[in-house]
Chains A and B, each alone.
Chain A
């Protein structure tokens, strides 16, 4: 009991880190908190529109869903390589950490390329931010043209995060010898967050809009 009270007094008495994380890591956590609210606001806006409108369900299982499942696989694997990078860095194995980080960034780039192809499909079908392709309007009469706005807005925001994450990771990989372990861990936090967001975007945007079997 006494030791616990002493420990608590030691924690909050000043001169130590009560969270046992550095200020940069705490800052990244706070950034992630605010960014998760940005994404939840976007997804809630999407859900609002979807619940109050006739909504098109245009994604055919093949190719769209299969394609986006591959994208999910790529992003999940990049999370795994990032964890491996952090674990190598914790063993003070900087060169291996650098390789894992570069692998992560390359998987991120793969994700961006795949997603651009997917966007390109939809755009060539005639989807625009405020306009549906004619085919869809006939299939789902009265459906809202805001489908494109939510789709491009949410996935574009996510792609932007992946893109900045790739740049971040390349910078970390280049400077990994000068950086502390905690800095590598912080870049990992950001990358896992990007992955986490996709775990909500993928089901909500894609899997809830699978083309009806008719």
Chain B
């Protein structure tokens, strides 16, 4: 029975692929004509040149419609099959969700982030000397970053494997960037800091 079906289908398929092939060859010929015309005509944007470009292009597209439609049909059939298979695969296990933390916890984290931010802005308001400012601000920012990573980004509730993969690497890399600072201070010390040049000497533009 199935063999019968196979044999009855095969000539049809062969016909279809032969038709596709002929159409493709015709389209390719017309496209070649277009290309030849483009090179031979010299000026592309003349009325005649445009005509001889557009008309073979249209004809080529007409021939391309047949294999195009065939391909589209095949892809749709494939997608339907794949979709059915995927749906079947999805139907089996419901995605297991790992989620810890209540809305109250998140609200309190948000509250503490706001408090730390307000503290930082207050420091900006009273204008401490810049070195104290830098140390305190960086400390507060690191605490804030830790809060965000731990609770909002949920890292605290992940496996220790993941935490140990992510955190130390980033921290070490960032600390390595500090290697530039001695050079920065050196550049500052190289700067001329004597008395300003005499008023009579040449003025800089």
Listed in ascending order, the chain A residues whose CB lies under 8 Å from chain B are 11, 18-21, 26, 29, 33, 36-37, 40-41, 44, 47-49, 51-53, 61, 65, 69, 72-73, 76-77, 79-80, 82-84, 86-87, 90, 92, 180-182, 185, 188-189, 192-193, 195-196, 199-200, 202-204, 206-208, 210, 212-213
Contacts and interface: CB of A to CB of B under 8 A. Distances in A.
Interface stretch (B10-18, B74-82, B161-169): B161-169
Interface in B103-124: 103, 106-107, 110, 113-114, 117, 120-121, 123-124
B44 interface: no
Contact of A20 (B98, B144, B174): B98
Contact of B166 (A33, A65, A192): A33
A86 B153 CA distance: 10
Contact of B170 (A37, A49, A180, A212): A37
Range of interface residues on chain B? 35 or more
Contacts of B137: 203-204, 207-208
Interface of B: 95, 97-99, 101, 103, 106-107, 110, 113-114, 117, 120-121, 123-125, 127, 130, 133-134, 137-138, 140-141, 144-145, 148-149, 152-154, 158-159, 161-162, 165-166, 169-170, 173-174, 177-178, 180-181, 183-188, 191
Contacts of B183: 48
Contacts of B158: 19-21
B114 to A, nearest CB: 6
Given A61-B125, A192-B153, 7 more contacts: A19-B161, A48-B184, A73-B117, A82-B152, A181-B99, A192-B152, A199-B144
Contacts of B170: 33, 36-37
Nearest to A40: B174
- Does more than half of chain B's interface fall in helix, strand or loop, or is it mixed? helix
Contacts of B127: 210, 212-213
Nearest to B107: A80
A90 B184 CA distance: 48
A196 B148 contact: yes
